[in-house]
Amino acid sequence: MKIFFCGACREVTGSCILVETEKIKFIVDCGLFQDDKSKMKNSYSFGFDPSEIDFVLLTHAHTDHCGRLPKLYKEGFRGNIYCTPVTIDLSEQMMIDSAKVFLSDDNINPIYFPLDVEKTMTCFSPVPYGQDYSINKEVRIKLSDAGHILGSAIFEVWIKDGKNEKKLVFSGDLGNSPAPIVKDTEFVNGADVVFIESTYGTKTHMSRELGRSKLKESIVEVIKDKGTLVIPVFALERTQEIIFELKNIFKNENVKEIPVFLDSPLAVRVTDIYRRYSNYFDEEVKKLVGKKDDLFYFDGFKMTRKKGDSLGFSRLSNPKIVLAGSGMCNGGRVLDHLKKNLPIANNRVLIISFQVEGSLGRKLAEGAKEVIIGEKKVKVRANVSKIEAFSSHADFPRLLAWIRKIKNPSPKNVFVIHGEEDLSVDVAKVLKSDLGLNAIVPEYGKVYEV
Ligand SMILES: [Zn+2]
């Protein structure tokens, strides 16, 4: 059986893995490259013929996992794309957004258009969690909750390879459990080959309790200073989680409620999908929904659904909070909010998401005193701080706990993917030294035999 890596090797974005036996060819994820260093790879050939791919397994709806699917379709793929039902709806929104971003940027050649997304949607095929599902005579799969974003799945894949059957496990992105909306990450037992993410390398996250108190502290400070608190957010999961946390702080923590504004039409659409799929929420939160509490709404909360909403909010007097995308500040409406608020000392910026190398968010998190937004130099006088507690990715103790449970059998090979090179290498070293696993950090465009 051959494994070919077409992205997210020694880097975080562009997830795409080809699995090939004598009888079948399928890929797991088909994501967009999103950091400046590797964006050009989006227009490269996949390195395989998309028309020969039998099917796709999609772990979740983040753009770095689903964002090249319309390119795959455009280049001849006509098979099924298997994922959870909520991933279908969320992926549609994420891919439409990517197509719009391509069209709005004069510096990039669109790799697909909104119409290609529409055609790609005809390939999606829902698979529920927890059921054995036969794709054909060669392959069966089972999805478990990865606890990363709503609908995210770990794929167990049993494949006939000649007379033998091999079991491959794809972690997708693993969650930072326990998280307030999604369920906890599930464990799987036994594999021949494991593909594991390594976004945070060997780091340990700040506890969620400490993260909550730091978020509360930032709100209290911004109220005292009569400033604006800007929180760059990813439209998917981080936005919903932060709305939930803010609601909780205002309701239960004795903090004066101030206006909160979500300036991201994509995040508003995603939040509507979250409301529709409340049956996927974890049990504690389900009880609140059962009591007819809207998790994503409180009195001072406003959203941009149409043009002009944004203007109305910017006229509101301080203190206030703005949530806007993109989460890594490499585009989107957050740029306008940063341009306006960074030069003023009584404002605050809170970085709560993963920041890829070279992104504006990374520069701010690392303490830049001046940044360039668009063509403009912007002085950073606002207080910028970072909270990693709200990450939707597992940290190293969680990764280790997850892989330790894969015992019957223990994997012969573990591919460490979806991490910056030095972080993936660090993870592989510990997997080798502490767990005795044959951990490999694969290379983009290379074929491995398993
Ligand atoms: Zn993800």
Q: How far, in Å, is the centroid of ligand 1 from the Cα of 239? A: 14
Q: How far, in Å, is the centroid of ligand 1 from the Cα of 62? A: 5
Other C-beta atoms within 10 Å of 418: how many?
A: 30
Judge whether residue 376 has pLDDT over 70: yes
Over residues 165-174, mean pLDDT: 97
Other C-beta atoms within 10 Å of 276: how many?
A: 10
Q: By C-alpha distance, which of 318, 326, 120 is closest to 228?
A: 318
Confidence class for position 308, pLDDT limits 50, 70, 90: low
Q: How far, in Å, is the centroid of ligand 1 from the Cα of 393? A: 8
Name the token pair of 371.
Answer: 């940044």
Q: How far, in Å, is the centroid of ligand 1 from the Cα of 312? A: 33
Instruction: Look up tokens 């508003």; give the residue.
Output: 268
Query: Which pLDDT score, from 0 to 100, does residue 375 have?
Result: 86
Residue type at position 101: V
Name the token pair of 445.
Answer: 């465009």
Q: Listing from the earlier edge strand, what are the strands of the sheet with 260-263? A: 301-303, 260-263, 320-324, 228-232, 348-351, 383-386
Over residues 120-135, mean pLDDT: 98
Other C-beta atoms within 10 Å of 109: how many?
A: 8
Q: Which of 225-239, 276-290, 293-307 has the highest mean pLDDT?
A: 225-239
Judge whether residue 311 has pLDDT over 70: no
CA 360 to CA 270: how far, in whole Å? 24
pLDDT digits (tens, 9 = 90+) for 52-102: 999 999 999 999 999 999 999 999 999 999 999 999 999 999 999 999 999
Compute the half-sphere exposure of residue 421: CA atoms within 13 Å on the CB side of its CA: 2
Q: How far, in Å, is the centroid of ligand 1 from the Cα of 164? A: 32
CA 332 to CA 268: how far, in whole Å? 14
Over residues 349-355, mean pLDDT: 90
Judge whether residue 219 has pLDDT over 90: yes
Topology given in CATH for the domain delimited by 208-386: Rossmann fold (3.40.50)
The C-alpha angle with vertex 383 and arms to 380 and 387, in degrees rounded to 5, equals 120
Judge whether residue 140 has pLDDT over 80: yes
Judge whether residue 174 has pLDDT over 90: yes
Over residues 142-169, mean pLDDT: 95
Judge whether residue 366 has pLDDT over 70: yes
Over residues 148-166, mean pLDDT: 94
CATH number of 2-203+392-449: 3.60.15.10
Q: How far, in Å, is the centroid of ligand 1 from the Cα of 52? A: 27
Query: Which pLDDT score, from 0 to 100, does residue 104 have?
Result: 86
Q: How far, in Å, is the centroid of ligand 1 from the Cα of 66? A: 10
Question: Do residues 204 and 396 make contact, with C-beta atoms less than 8 angstroms apart?
Answer: yes
Query: Which pLDDT score, from 0 to 100, does residue 305 have?
Result: 77
Give me the torsion for CA of 147, 332, 307, 296, rounded to 10°.
20
Q: How far, in Å, is the centroid of ligand 1 from the Cα of 199? A: 10
pLDDT digits (tens, 9 = 90+) for 395-417: 999 999 999 999 999 999 999 99
pLDDT, the chain, mean: 94
Q: How far, in Å, is the centroid of ligand 1 from the Cα of 101? A: 19
Domain ranges of the chain: 2-203+392-449, 208-386
Q: How far, in Å, is the centroid of ligand 1 from the Cα of 235? A: 12
Q: What is the pTM of this model?
A: 0.94
Percent of the chain with pLDDT over 70: 99
Q: Of the ranges 128-132, 291-295, 306-310, which one carries the lowest mean pLDDT score?
A: 306-310
Query: Which pLDDT score, from 0 to 100, does residue 271 have?
Result: 95
Query: Which pLDDT score, from 0 to 100, does residue 388 have?
Result: 84
Confidence class for position 319, pLDDT limits 50, 70, 90: very high
Q: How far, in Å, is the centroid of ligand 1 from the Cα of 248? A: 25
Percent of the chain with pLDDT over 90: 84
Question: Do residues 120 and 129 make contact, with C-beta atoms less than 8 angstroms apart?
Answer: no
Confidence class for position 217, pLDDT limits 50, 70, 90: very high
Per-residue three-class SS string for the chain = CEEEECCCCCCCCCCCEEEECCCCEEEECCCCCCCCCCHHHHHCCCCCCHHHCCEEECCCCCHHHHCCHHHHHHCCCCCEEEECHHHHHHHHHHHHHHHHHHHHCCCCCCCCCHHHHHHHHHHEEECCCCCCEECCCCEEEEEEECCCCCCCEEEEEEEEECCEEEEEEECCCCCCCCCCCCCCCCCCCCCCEEEEECCCCCCCCCCHHHHHHHHHHHHHHHHHCCCEEEEECCCCCHHHHHHHHHHHHHHHCCCCCCCEEEECHHHHHHHHHHHHCHHHCCHHHHHHHHCCCCCCCCCCEEECCCCCHHHHHHCCCCCEEEEECCCCCCCCCHHHHHHHHCCCCCCEEEECCCCCCCCHHHHHHCCCCEEEECCEEEECCCEEEECCCCCCCCCHHHHHHHHHCCCCCCCCEEEEECCCHHHHHHHHHHHHHHHCCCEECCCCCCEEEC
Q: By C-alpha distance, which of 393, 295, 383 is closest to 341?
A: 383
Over residues 410-437, mean pLDDT: 97
Query: Which pLDDT score, from 0 to 100, does residue 307 have?
Result: 64
Judge whether residue 438 has pLDDT over 90: yes
